[in-house]
Amino acid sequence: MRVGGEKRVEPQTPEDDLDLSSEDEAVASDLDMHALILGGLNQDAEPLKTADEVIQEIDDMMQDETCSLDGSPGSRDSVIENNEVMEKAKEVLSSPLYEDKLRDLSLSQLNELFLELEVLIREFSETLISELALRDELEYEKELKNTFISLLLAVQNRRRQYHVEKKRSSKNSVLKTPNGLDPKYLTTVIPYHIDNGPPDNQTLQVLIKTTASEFYLSNVSTGKDK
């Protein structure tokens, strides 16, 4: 409201302060959830592994397979053979393969060395593919969480702005949008339970679609989509 070319600021009443405090508590509660989701990002992130750690991990996997055998002699012999090949391959890699040393090897020794390296390359390739797939999955999950948090904060800011403008307007008048309708804001209850941890990717995709739809409707109702 302008009087004599100057903007008149309506004094705030205790009721206004109470409403704003309630709004602050709601925003603080939502931010707690954001912190939990961001905490999930830190928990999901794994440090890069060294070559020795990868080799040790492969050894552990081979030992687990040995422990989980059902007693079949064929399966046990296969695992033992793979373990022996892995041990020999690691022995080969532990020392440089000089050209002069390779020239002194017989054909059978070269074939044996080739087979050992081939098994080692296959094992490392499978581990690399698994680690890369996990990295891509974690990056996609991080992107989903960041998108959801950004949309949720945008809707909260729009809702808070509307409540502040409504409190500053005249009590006898209703704050209307250009199309004559009351703006609508996010009213969806987020299905989050602390015991279940952060929401999974499928749940985040649904929440992103719902939040984006709510934000678009709020823009349309307030005439801010132009």
The answer to whether position 24 is within a domain reads yes
pLDDT tens-digit map of 150-165? 888 887 888 788 778 7
Per-residue b or e along 164-177, where b marks 16 or more CB atoms closer than 10 Å to that residue's CB = eeebeeeeeeeeeb
The answer to whether position 167 is within a domain reads yes
Q: pLDDT value at position 135? A: 92
The answer to whether position 121 is within a domain reads no
The answer to whether position 113 is within a domain reads no
- Which range of residues forms the domain containing residue 148? 2-45+135-222
This prediction has a pTM of: 0.47
The answer to whether position 209 is within a domain reads yes
The answer to whether position 116 is within a domain reads no
pLDDT tens-digit map of 11-31? 555 555 545 555 556 555 555
pLDDT tens-digit map of 51-67? 566 666 666 665 665 55
Q: Domain total for the chain? A: 1
Q: Is the pLDDT of residue 106 over 80?
A: yes
